[in-house]
Amino acid sequence: MKIAILPGDGIGTEIVAEAVKVLKVLDLPLEMETALVGGCAFEAHGHPLPESTLKLAMASDAVLFGAVGDWKYDKLDRPLRPEQAILGLRKNMGLFANFRPAICYEQLVNASSLKPELIAGLDILIIRELTGDIYFGQPRGRRIATDGHFPGAEEAFDTMRYSRPEIERIAHVAFQAAQKRSKRVTSVDKNNVLETSQLWKDVMVEIGKQYPDVELDHMLVDNAAMQLVKAPKKFDVLVTGNMFGDILSDEASMLTGSIGMLPSASLNSRGQGLYEPSHGSAPDIAGKGIANPLATILSAAMMLRFSLNQEAAALRIEAAVKKVLEQGLRTADIYSEGTQKVSTLEMGNAVVRAL
Amino acid sequence: MKIAILPGDGIGTEIVAEAVKVLKVLDLPLEMETALVGGCAFEAHGHPLPESTLKLAMASDAVLFGAVGDWKYDKLDRPLRPEQAILGLRKNMGLFANFRPAICYEQLVNASSLKPELIAGLDILIIRELTGDIYFGQPRGRRIATDGHFPGAEEAFDTMRYSRPEIERIAHVAFQAAQKRSKRVTSVDKNNVLETSQLWKDVMVEIGKQYPDVELDHMLVDNAAMQLVKAPKKFDVLVTGNMFGDILSDEASMLTGSIGMLPSASLNSRGQGLYEPSHGSAPDIAGKGIANPLATILSAAMMLRFSLNQEAAALRIEAAVKKVLEQGLRTADIYSEGTQKVSTLEMGNAVVRAL
Ligand SMILES: CC(C)[C@H](C(=O)O)[C@@H](O)C(=O)O
Ligand SMILES: CC(C)[C@H](C(=O)O)[C@@H](O)C(=O)O
């Protein structure tokens, strides 16, 4: 089983090192190869996603990804910025199905902005379509407007689009995920305004008929942004497009108050996947050894489950993470009085011990 | 001063009636004329925005709008659905500048999902561009895909677009609003992915130079959705496009826990405006006399301020609303133990008395 290890920028190297440590003690036949991605790859090779890195990723069963980006690259032309690496990997590997759990751990309830009774026990699975929508839709660019409010003026434009089979395949992913959970799917769109959303909704209804055991409802994206705040526990599986999913999955993660705990998986139709923490590269704390490695370690668990068919090993890691939380160990981001503050390295070691 | 009164559907008639009552006791030369809009207009005239209603709105200095929509119209073709009326009014009247305050009233802090210390004293002004973006961008529709992931498949598409002058005018609105507040603007976009957002950001920076007294920063929309949850009070004026503004303004309103208190204003370049509560038509409680009329009454205050140049009267209404809250009067949506539950009508009467 071949894994590409792409630590990236910022805290990426520190947190991925701990996840690799954890993987190594599992005693599985894992072949790991590391490569540069993001800003560090741009500095070394002139491109955030060098050909060699992409090749390695494509040839692996799974990619374990840290994080990319730093303010110092903000001035680069868009195609050279670190985040293009992640878009390039998604596109080239065809990673259309993004799984973003928003889980509130019992021991971390108080880290949330929300009142404990609203957030305790939260367990939402957001499924975001990841290779379509306005992220990749052509045409896009700048031009002189020939119609609209100001014909003759410079304008910029992007195209939101979804085809029926693109929606069908993510719908199947969502319904099948729901079958393993509470059998409820909320599909989020903006069908009162967008043509794309109307097709999205129509296809969800159609595919839903093949899953009579799963209850499907629909919610407008503005309302979903509200209901997540008002009563997050009413959601179970939430499925939505790339753009709305970007916003809602981050909102939902932050509701838990412990985004440093949340993993993610991005899969293609062959089960190949990219696994990364839900948080970013946090350049402000990079190199200090204080970042929380648990989201990355839990991403490695998702990798074992989804791409490497090692459910038992995944469960072992997840149990080990629960155990270190029970032991009262906390990195700075989730620290509260009465717990023990530990470094990135110490947290990784604690998980290894708990295994 | 001519005002078009468009109560609409659901609780619209009940809440607008109270706002009209309040306006009438102000002893201002207000000429009010009522017309149908939304689902009720569709039933009476076959269209959610009948020609006569649009004419009345266009010929008025301001429109006081209730709410539109009901599940029973969900099956209608999109152009006939109630919400098309609001889109039609925005477009025809050129209402490009939407003001959505998210304010947390001292007495209602506990209604929020958020911990009191995070939300007490919240006072954000969200300025949403309202006539551009993917809401109105042509082309849009359904077709057979000729490229993308599934050439030959049916697809739906929409166009996100912004021209330079469209962004310039909303930028001026935001910077000028900030000058009257804490002199900080956060512009929200998705410039790491969208061409439209890159132009948005470029123009914000350019126009910002004309307002050296205002501090401008930029935030990605996914991060903004998170920061609103994490530390809402860090925001002051937030300016963004139509689509992102739809989502973020609703999220921000719900953070306060008392969306029944939040007004909104939508202005064109001639100062003509449409004023409506931030909440919807709530068909589930329509006709029961329990809806909260305060958001509509506060929208009438915004109308007096922005379109009718009656600042003193606006302040009187706002003070009266504060007073009824201090008196402990609450409609069901904001009721808590120890306060007095009142009906829509009683709340309107209380505001009139407080005036
Ligand atoms: C870095 C950026 C392009 C990316 C996205 O918008 O998809 C990120 O926000 C994410 O959610 O993974
Ligand atoms: C009704 C709908 C078209 C509208 C919008 O999306 O703008 C509403 O959600 C709003 O925010 O006023």
| Residue extents of the structural domains in chain B | 1-100+262-355, 113-256
Q: Measured over all CA atoms, what is the biggest interatomic distance in chain B, rounded to whole angstroms?
A: 66
To the question of domain B113-256 being in CATH 3.20.20.10, the answer is no
pTM: 0.97
Say how many residues make up chain B: 355
A190 is catalytic: yes
- A190-196 average pLDDT score: 96
Q: pLDDT value at position B130? A: 98
Answer for the pair A8, A37: CB distance below 8 angstroms, yes or no: yes
Q: Hey, how many other C-beta atoms are within 10 angstroms of the C-beta on B172?
A: 14
A263 has binding-site annotation: no
**Same-fold call for B1-100+262-355 versus B113-256:** yes
Ligand 1 centre distance from Cα of residue A86 (Å): 8
User: Reduced to 3 states, what is the DSSP secondary structure of residue A308?
Assistant: coil
Q: Measured over all CA atoms, what is the biggest interatomic distance in chain A, rounded to whole angstroms?
A: 66
Beta strands A273-277; A62-67: pairing state: parallel
Q: How far is A251 from chain B (nearest CA, A)?
A: 5
Which chain B residues have a beta carbon less than 8 Å from that of A192? 78, 81, 83
* Residue nearest ligand 2's atom 1 by CA: B83
Q: pLDDT value at position B78? A: 87
Ligand 1 centre distance from Cα of residue B222 (Å): 8
Going by C-alpha positions, the residue among A260, A282, A292 that lies closest to residue A70 is A282
Tell the burial category of B321 from Cβ atoms under 10 Å away from its Cβ (0-12, 13-18, 19+).
buried
Give the pLDDT confidence of A222-239 residue by residue, as tens digits. 999 999 999 999 999 999
Q: pLDDT value at position B109? A: 96
- What is the C-alpha to C-alpha distance for residues A298 and A52, in angstroms, rounded to an integer? 27
A222 is catalytic: yes
- Put simply, the chain B residues between 314 and 333 with a CB less than 8 A from any chain A CB are none
Q: pLDDT value at position B74? A: 83
Going by C-alpha positions, the residue among B7, B5, B10, B13 that lies closest to residue B345 is B13
- What is the C-alpha to C-alpha distance for residues B120 and A343, in angstroms, rounded to an integer? 34
- What is the C-alpha to C-alpha distance for residues B342 and B324, in angstroms, rounded to an integer? 11
The amino acid occupying position A202 is: D
Answer for the pair B108, B256: CB distance below 8 angstroms, yes or no: yes
Inter-chain touch B115–A114, beta carbons under 8 Å: yes
Going by C-alpha positions, the residue among A249, A283, A327, A256 that lies closest to residue A108 is A256
- A329-354 average pLDDT score: 97
* B-interface mutation test, from A192, A197, A202, A278, most B Cβ less than 10 A away: A192
A87 lines ligand 1 (CB under 6 A): yes
* Residue nearest ligand 2's atom 5 by CA: B246
Give the pLDDT band (50/70/90) at residue A347. very high
Inter-chain touch A115–B118, beta carbons under 8 Å: no
pLDDT, chain A, mean = 97
Q: Is A156 on the interface with B (CB under 8 A)?
A: yes
Share of chain A above pLDDT 70, in %: 100
Query: Domain A1-100+262-355: which CATH class?
Result: alpha beta
Choose one of A83, A134, A262 to mutate for the ligand 1 pocket test, by most ligand atoms within 8 angstroms of C-beta.
Answer: A83
Give the pLDDT confidence of A308-320 residue by residue, as tens digits. 999 999 999 999 9
Going by C-alpha positions, the residue among A199, A299, A239, A304 that lies closest to residue A97 is A239
User: A287 φ, ψ to 5°?
Assistant: 80, -5
Give the pLDDT confidence of A82-105 residue by residue, as tens digits. 999 999 999 999 999 999 999 999
Q: Hey, how many other C-beta atoms are within 10 angstroms of the C-beta on A337?
A: 5
Which chain A residues have a beta carbon less than 8 Å from that of B199? 142, 154-156
Q: pLDDT value at position B71? A: 87
Q: Which residues lie across from B186 on neighbouring strands?
A: B217, B238
Give the pLDDT confidence of A19-38 residue by residue, as tens digits. 999 999 999 999 999 999 99
Beta strands A263-267; A237-240: pairing state: unpaired
Low-confidence stretches of chain B (pLDDT beneath 50):
none
Q: pLDDT value at position B283? A: 94
- Helices B195-208 and B164-179 pack at an angle, to 10 degrees, of 50
Q: pLDDT value at position A105? A: 95
Share of chain A above pLDDT 90, in %: 97
Answer for the pair A266, A126: CB distance below 8 angstroms, yes or no: no
Q: Which two tokens stand for residue A2?
A: 């071949």
Beta strands B263-267; B97-103: pairing state: antiparallel
Q: Give the nearest partner residue to B134 out of A160, A192, A229, using CB atoms.
A: A160
B147 is catalytic: no
Tell the burial category of B239 from Cβ atoms under 10 Å away from its Cβ (0-12, 13-18, 19+).
buried
Exposure string over A154-191, b if 16+ CB within 10 A, otherwise e: ebbbbbbbbbbbbbbbbbebbbebbeeeeeebbbbbbb
Answer for the pair B336, B324: CB distance below 8 angstroms, yes or no: no
A291 has binding-site annotation: yes
A85 has binding-site annotation: no
- C-alpha to C-alpha distances, B39 to A224, B89, B309, nearest whole angstrom: 23, 15, 32
Q: Is A142 on the interface with B (CB under 8 A)?
A: yes
Q: Is A229 on the interface with B (CB under 8 A)?
A: yes
Q: pLDDT value at position A257? A: 93
User: Reduced to 3 states, what is the DSSP secondary structure of residue A215?
Assistant: strand
Q: Give the nearest partner residue to B113 out of A114, A148, A221, using CB atoms.
A: A114
A247 lines ligand 1 (CB under 6 A): no
User: Reduced to 3 states, what is the DSSP secondary structure of residue B329?
Assistant: strand
Tell the burial category of A27 from Cβ atoms under 10 Å away from its Cβ (0-12, 13-18, 19+).
exposed
Answer for the pair B171, B207: CB distance below 8 angstroms, yes or no: yes
Kindly name the residue from A2, A233, A250, A323 that is annotated as catalytic.
Answer: A250
Q: pLDDT value at position B355? A: 95
The amino acid occupying position B86 is: I
Choose one of A73, A242, A246, A250 to mutate for the ligand 1 pocket test, by most ligand atoms within 8 angstroms of C-beta.
Answer: A246
Whose tokens are 């931030």? That residue is: B278
Q: pLDDT value at position B135? A: 97
Q: pLDDT value at position A78? A: 87
- What is the C-alpha to C-alpha distance for residues A229 and B228, in angstroms, rounded to an integer? 10
DSSP output for A134-147: GGTPSS-EEEE-SS
Answer for the pair B206, A231: CB distance below 8 angstroms, yes or no: no
- Put simply, the chain B residues between 170 and 209 with a CB less than 8 A from any chain A CB are 190, 192-196, 198-200
